[in-house]
Structure 1
């Protein structure tokens, strides 16, 4: 049985005179491959330590306090002092008001958490708020303190549960006009260029399915590790495309529209003739039929996922190990 997740924060969610004990749960995981730091030419790990820069001695965590540099001196602050001044003693999540979701610019959204009731007896209040938010298509705006930081958050109803999205404070959003000195403003484009750009957007329009996308870089990192372990080499990535110049813009747009509008079966590339295309499909079918059925039962989930990615199986990121085996077996058996 899988271990039950523990909340990263627990407190009371209140709106009006209604109070609901809730727990906050991490909503996302990172699949980034992590490396240890080693000294070159050895297998010796490099460790980060808390060291007194004057004496060079290592300092225990209990002997470390926070210091704010005022220029002339450090103002020392103990961790418990930060807890003592926290609004609501770090256990209150009070909704200030409700706003239309469309009013919150996407740039304000930061991290997502799941919100769950702390006990089945609070299920009715939880469900009531979730249904009311979903029907009104609004988000509750609140602030709360977690780990000695105050957060501005948006409470939303999503797929039958409540989610909490931390938001950036207004003064944390940078002004792009001050950050980027090369912004063109409303650069003049010809009617033909604008029409062609709109056609390209239309030709490349797709239905949003997050399961269709996966982290190809992490897959290549895993392949690199496997290759180096086996003493093999891997193919280097292609260099980045050259920037499109103003003179070549119209031609680049036209070629892009033609490629995006071509049949998906050809992978976006025109074939020399319909007969050649049919012939290649027929030979491909023969090769698939003649390939012995692979035994997938002994493969790990990571290896199965690599095969699913190579086969471009939809929804693979949400599949269990057994689901991956079934999907791959079904894909291999199709002509």
Structure 2
């Protein structure tokens, strides 16, 4: 069973909910060691005093912050711990918001939030169910691993999930980072129509298990091939950029290819088809039912003529 990486309480109003934080994700990257080329000699990183050239023990290292050119203020671990707000072990909820209001760029990493103990399951479930009924996400702050985080807590089925977030001043301004930000322009109507059709034809339910890290798979294949002395197959080149004059044709060809993969019908065609069939079926049914009503009316009229007239009492 996984170990929690943070324990504390979630506080909102006068209510405190003991919780434990667990990692929700894991990477599957290939981890490499460093060697000197042409040898089997490992490369090691050492902490070396740049003046004396001697190696320094980790316990003898302190942190320094530059305050002016070449001048530093030295801080040791105890001094940093003294000002760290994490001693309170509290995740304070400041507000509740609608999840649609949060730009995904603010999300950093996902964690599972579990009850602090068996005795606190009831208060944990109360917070989870109240947030689910209100359809809200809690926004708060916590200190974890020596860093303060903005955090979002959201209900997810039986669990609460915590998303660490970037602060607003950590989000870069694209206007300052990009060479040029494309301005909004009125697109060609035909190109836009075919582009939307292409998106429709490629639309499908979200199934994350259908996607794999194919690059890491190929790295593993490369390692196995070299270990066995086999030749390495070269991957395909990256596609070249589509020229503006070829855009419409490229879009149409893409729609046709997507249509073939889906059995010859685009998403727009398959959506419209059932409506037409239903309308035709209704019309046909109505046509068949009409003569039946007329025949029934004729039978009723004939029966009335044949029926003997009732005698009235004298």
Match of 1:117 among 111, 115, 118: 115
Look up the match of 2:51: 54
Look up the match of 1:191: 189
Look up the match of 2:171: 173
CA distance, structure 2, for counterparts of residue 197 and residue 260 of structure 1: 12
The list of structure 1 runs, each at least 4 consecutive aligned residues, that deviate by more than 2 angstroms after superposition, is 263-266
CA distance, structure 1, for counterparts of residue 199 and residue 88 of structure 2: 47
CA distance, structure 2, for counterparts of residue 10 and residue 155 of structure 1: 15
Asked if structure 2 preserves the Cα contact closer than 8 Å seen for 1:22 and 1:117, the reply is: yes
Asked if structure 1 preserves the Cα contact closer than 8 Å seen for 2:86 and 2:144, the reply is: no
Look up the match of 2:225: 227
Asked if structure 2 preserves the Cα contact closer than 8 Å seen for 1:151 and 1:166, the reply is: yes
Look up the match of 1:163: 161
5+ residue gaps in structure 1? 267-335
Match of 1:77 among 66, 75, 78: 75
Q: TM-score, normalised by structure 2?
A: 0.81
Q: TM-score, normalised by structure 1?
A: 0.76
Compute the displacement of 1:233 (Å): 1.1
Greater Rg over alpha carbons, structure: 2
Compute the displacement of 1:131 (Å): 1.1
CA distance, structure 2, for counterparts of residue 83 and residue 260 of structure 1: 58
CA distance, structure 2, for counterparts of residue 88 and residue 45 of structure 1: 39
Cα displacement string for residues 82-127 of structure 1 (whole angstroms, at most 9, x for unaligned residues): 2211225251111111111111111100001111112101111111
Asked if structure 2 preserves the Cα contact closer than 8 Å seen for 1:13 and 1:94, the reply is: yes
Look up the match of 1:31: 28
CA distance, structure 2, for counterparts of residue 83 and residue 97 of structure 1: 28
Match of 1:148 among 137, 146, 150: 146
Look up the match of 1:20: 17
SS at match of 1:70: strand
Compute the displacement of 1:182 (Å): 2.4
Q: Say if 2:16 is the partner of 1:6.
A: no
CA distance, structure 1, for counterparts of residue 261 and residue 75 of structure 2: 65
Higher relative contact order (CA 8 A, sep 6+): 2
Tell me the matched-pair count.
264
Q: How does 1:1-335 map to 2 (within 5 A)?
A: 4-72=1-69, 73-87=71-85, 89-264=87-262
CA distance, structure 2, for counterparts of residue 230 and residue 79 of structure 1: 49
CA distance, structure 1, for counterparts of residue 38 and residue 86 of structure 2: 53
